Structure 1
């Protein structure tokens, strides 16, 4: 895991000092070493977190003729197999690193190499033979990659703050990106919340020629036509799913030259990956868990149950509301996005525990809910699809009572209201029917925006998603359409980014996600919907596949999504010192995003209630306001100070001077 950055400048040599400032902004992503390459058109920078081939994997790396250069963030987990194929084709490899496999795979297969990679990556290839700079991102968007144009120059980096190291890059919000974030939970790639800053979409590569970037999609989630899914029985599918998940987990646990730990959340997914490690490897497993002082959010009982069963060396961090508030500015600094929940904050504290325990890598269960249909929104969609096909159904109230058994303020407490809420927009021809209730509820946040922030924004954030949806989606099962939408919005923009990569890499920790393995995802995408959700039992096939390795108490417990205290974190024990400044009427007016009078009314409610017992919408409103105001303070209105040069051992490959420091 690393940080990457660079500049493409067709008619003038890139500024060496600029690429060094960009690298300095990414030091947290790669504190072990750094390096940069420069010629008369391109500069590539790299900050390294050394995990595979610690001695031989330094970057930027080139081929033997120094005609193809790469800077790479991530892991290609099948690099051993690819290296063997390349050697059989006559390619010479000097190291054991997956980085060199990328270089030689590019020379052998060109852009087709991305389809052969099984991993998580963001990379840049500078091919001096053709004058092309190629930017590529993995299938699901595990690793981030941003870019921006300044005149004829193109800058790219793992994080936006590195692009802002160039003072010529304009710092401003993008109203459309903000609107999407406050409707869909995150901007839809290539949008970001910053004007002029774009992200490479998942499953995509860009070819930069001169000053123009051309987008090419090499992969996207696919599903069979409705009724055409594999018809093997449940037992056979469960066995094959188990084999693929075990293989993917072992690949991510064993292919590392440093120790690898695992998260235990208390839920099914992390229990499965941890159990696969202990059952199918000889390693002693170290596990890490996040707990809460507030029992409403705490899952410690199930974490300890799984740790005891697997006999792991277990560590945990217990997070308080005040700790969430204290760390939240750092969370926003690393997330670089609008947040609607405080849930990323405890994840930052958990990765800090991992790093302080001497670990750089953890295996986690993220991705399972998307590829194996585990979220409540999928069960909601099943109910709503049934209601749409049978408008006269009389059991809507009873059906709603089956949803959200974990929630203190469950819709089951007002089932008639919930039935009316979920019974809206029941159009089976609407490709986004599954997500209308969530998007409608979340978009209430946009009513707080100023007229200026809404200028030019038509509010149709959903159109940005549907425009990227494949034409064949109309023939998919409704569950498949719902899964695609989740993979296009919440997964890359929030789960893997704000709550995943950014909170891990804030403490120089790499996360690995077996459920997002290319082979696991391909198999899951071909499964029948009624084997993923059986009745109202989510992830039915996964539970069957690992029933012998996971305690029945975890198998049978209702799905409980990861949550953290929201408004209460900022008000229950007195507002933290930074909050009043960030949310003052003057600061809100200066940011120009929210109406100050509306914000003040919301703050008055929070102060009166100490942030407790607030509605879901008000919790999201408060966190959205706080995060936007911090984004403005940290990135637009001056920004944090960044070091002028990397604080790591540095290798320099400067083709603009006669010197070379290997």
Structure 2
């Protein structure tokens, strides 16, 4: 895991530009700083490692290394292969061992044990098709000095970030937006339309546009290959992977359910096996829910199998303070830790630290989030303080296994009426369930009486008030729409503390399998995530495996901002000049009315947006004193 930056320009530029950009990412890679300068015969930097090559136009690559595999200097980047290919790369290809063995049968040799070298050899062997062989997370830029071509790619789900700025003179890119802002060609301006959309809809990390004007995200599951001098022209990435969900309403079958559960378990087990490959200490985040507990269980089994069970550590945020207990998951965290006999460390965010800790996280996030994300932030803070450099985490399962209650409207609107009746227990656990049932019943009844096309036509005339998106289709969409935000938070939160976060649920083999499983096996007998519960039944504590009230990763933000931090919260809203620029004016709303007139979720988005603006443009803009935060102080 690392940080990468680059500048390709039609004009000569000082090499100090790339060093300034690279230093912004020291938290992503504190172990080494290296550069590649192409077509630049005069340079004013002298880092530990600086490579100079010829190029038809000037360019510079910078890299900050977080050493995970092959801790020797052989793993430093920019890395060269066969004197031809140069790469800067952020991520992990977990199946690099198997790919290396295949390449060796083809005559390829290697000087390091890194996955970085395997990527370049794979590209030499198979061209752009190499991407389909990679199981992992990545964002890389590769330069072929023989053909003078640039090859850029980002992983299937966009776990690893890559941003760029482009005009007719420059192509500037990096792992984080703040690095791009160090280049004088990039204007530091907020994207007002994006900010307005954020206030209306929340986080928009699936979009190409960002909260910064003229800075864009490189698309996930895609690549760009072009001659280096063509990089200044507008481009459209080529997609190399997509998913085709099973949209059938196949009736539930117990024998088939057992087969699906076994296949699910085996795939997740192998995903964990691959993600345990590391030359540094590994831990895992534990929230007390089924997903993180499943990962912790599989890590436990595999470590014990090699006699290392005593090395397992888990990390959690808890809320035991009076008034915030509604977000506390410590009972379930302790249940799992006891059952697995692991070392469990917990941290409780202190209300008096929230304002400053949130400002720090906003700086590392680069863009506004729909909430404070303090549970995740403090968990990574604790992890780093305990000396752990890699974590296996549980993100991604909810979006594949029907873990969110708002999937219910899709489910009830497409299943047969008989199935709907049988799912009574599921109905009873859903808040405001009558509205879901009403919508689903109307859709089903209209289909029975009027036929498919006519029922949809009538519902469309009613203003499209009724959801008719099949569950698996919604989950497929959310792999991009929802998970983009979760991955953004995970990447920035972990990398702020120089930690690599790995996500077994995002193994593409598991994702492709779950997309083929009919929704009736994910929702069954009144249970969400039925397939996963069945797979881990008898392995995890029953009150964790068959728990109905899991809250996600809860944060007691209302307790904080309606309590001790209320005055600060309201003052930030009422005095915000930036909120006025995006059309929001709280100046004439009394402190008594503000919580009655607006939803807390909306107020929180407004607050986060104001903090984001103040961090990057305010008079008290945040400047990290020591970007590599590692203590609990």
- The two structures have a TM-score, normalised by structure 2, of 0.84
The alignment status of 1:289 with 2:316, answered yes or no, reads: yes
Deviation at residue 22 of structure 1 after TM alignment: 1.0
Q: Distance in 2 between matches of 1:170 and 1:588?
A: 18
Describe the shift of the 1:638–1:171 C-alpha distance in structure 2 as closer, same or farther (beyond 3 A).
farther
Q: Distance in 1 between matches of 2:575 and 2:247?
A: 53
Contact persistence 1:203–1:217 (CA under 8 A): yes
Q: Distance in 2 between matches of 1:210 and 1:488?
A: 26
Question: Could you tell me which residue of structure 2 aligns to residue 305 of structure 1?
Answer: 335
The alignment status of 1:337 with 2:337, answered yes or no, reads: no
Write out per-residue CA displacement over residues 226-279 of structure 1, whole angstroms, 9 at most, x where no aligned residue: 3689987111121111111111112112x1000100111100011111111112
Q: Distance in 2 between matches of 1:333 and 1:148?
A: 19
Give the counterpart of 1:166 among 183, 186, 189.
Answer: 183
Q: Distance in 1 between matches of 2:71 and 2:333?
A: 33
Deviation at residue 423 of structure 1 after TM alignment: 8.5
Question: Could you tell me which residue of structure 2 aligns to residue 109 of structure 1?
Answer: 126
Give the counterpart of 2:540 among 550, 575, 578.
Answer: 550
Describe the shift of the 1:151–1:51 C-alpha distance in structure 2 as closer, same or farther (beyond 3 A).
same
Q: Distance in 2 between matches of 1:482 and 1:646?
A: 38
Contact persistence 2:165–2:173 (CA under 8 A): yes
Q: Distance in 2 between matches of 1:59 and 1:43?
A: 13
Describe the shift of the 1:396–1:104 C-alpha distance in structure 2 as closer, same or farther (beyond 3 A).
closer
Question: Could you tell me which residue of structure 1 aligns to residue 18 of structure 2?
Answer: 19
Deviation at residue 353 of structure 1 after TM alignment: 0.6
Q: Say which SS state the counterpart of residue 319 (structure 1) adopts.
A: coil
The alignment status of 1:529 with 2:551, answered yes or no, reads: no
The alignment status of 1:618 with 2:609, answered yes or no, reads: no
Contact persistence 2:135–2:507 (CA under 8 A): yes
Contact persistence 1:24–1:642 (CA under 8 A): no
Q: Distance in 1 between matches of 2:588 and 2:65?
A: 44
Deviation at residue 346 of structure 1 after TM alignment: 2.3
Q: Distance in 2 between matches of 1:585 and 1:64?
A: 59
Give the counterpart of 2:381 among 352, 358, 371.
Answer: 352
Deviation at residue 137 of structure 1 after TM alignment: 1.0
Give the counterpart of 2:589 among 601, 611, 633.
Answer: 601
Structure 2: gaps of 5 or more residues: 40-57, 447-451, 457-463, 629-633
In the TM superposition, 1:172-571 aligns within 5 A as: 172-181=189-198, 182-183=200-201, 185-208=203-226, 209-212=230-233, 213-224=235-246, 226=248, 233-253=256-276, 255-282=277-304, 283=308, 284-292=311-319, 293=321, 294-342=324-372, 344-386=373-415, 401-403=428-430, 410-411=431-432, 478-492=470-484, 494-498=485-489, 500-558=490-548, 559-571=550-562
Once structures 1 and 2 are overlaid, which stretch shifts more, 12-21 or 352-361? Answer: 12-21
Contact persistence 1:147–1:198 (CA under 8 A): yes
Write out per-residue CA displacement over residues 288-318 of structure 1, whole angstroms, 9 at most, x where no aligned residue: 1111131100000000000001000110001
Deviation at residue 63 of structure 1 after TM alignment: 1.0
Deviation at residue 629 of structure 1 after TM alignment: 1.5
Deviation at residue 180 of structure 1 after TM alignment: 4.2
The alignment status of 1:630 with 2:602, answered yes or no, reads: no
Deviation at residue 188 of structure 1 after TM alignment: 3.0
Q: Distance in 1 between matches of 2:330 and 2:520?
A: 32
Task: Give the superposed CA RMSD.
Answer: 3.4
Deviation at residue 623 of structure 1 after TM alignment: 1.7
Question: Could you tell me which residue of structure 1 aligns to residue 5 of structure 2?
Answer: 5
Deviation at residue 59 of structure 1 after TM alignment: 0.7
Describe the shift of the 1:569–1:422 C-alpha distance in structure 2 as closer, same or farther (beyond 3 A).
farther
Deviation at residue 122 of structure 1 after TM alignment: 1.1
Question: Could you tell me which residue of structure 1 aligns to residue 77 of structure 2?
Answer: 59
Q: Say which SS state the counterpart of residue 582 (structure 2) adopts.
A: coil
Structure 1: gaps of 5 or more residues: 404-409, 432-438, 441-461, 463-473, 648-662
Q: Distance in 2 between matches of 1:645 and 1:365?
A: 29
Contact persistence 2:79–2:117 (CA under 8 A): yes
Contact persistence 2:273–2:302 (CA under 8 A): yes
Q: Distance in 1 between matches of 2:206 and 2:280?
A: 35
Q: Say which SS state the counterpart of residue 96 (structure 1) adopts.
A: coil
Report the count of equivalent residues.
579
Q: Say which SS state the counterpart of residue 44 (structure 1) adopts.
A: strand
Deviation at residue 580 of structure 1 after TM alignment: 7.0
Deviation at residue 636 of structure 1 after TM alignment: 4.2
The alignment status of 1:43 with 2:60, answered yes or no, reads: yes
Describe the shift of the 1:98–1:169 C-alpha distance in structure 2 as closer, same or farther (beyond 3 A).
same
Q: Distance in 2 between matches of 1:159 and 1:308?
A: 39
Question: Could you tell me which residue of structure 2 aligns to residue 152 of structure 1?
Answer: 169
Describe the shift of the 1:420–1:223 C-alpha distance in structure 2 as closer, same or farther (beyond 3 A).
closer
Q: Distance in 2 between matches of 1:531 and 1:225?
A: 12
Write out per-residue CA displacement over residues 325-367 of structure 1, whole angstroms, 9 at most, x where no aligned residue: 331111211222222222x122111111100100111111111
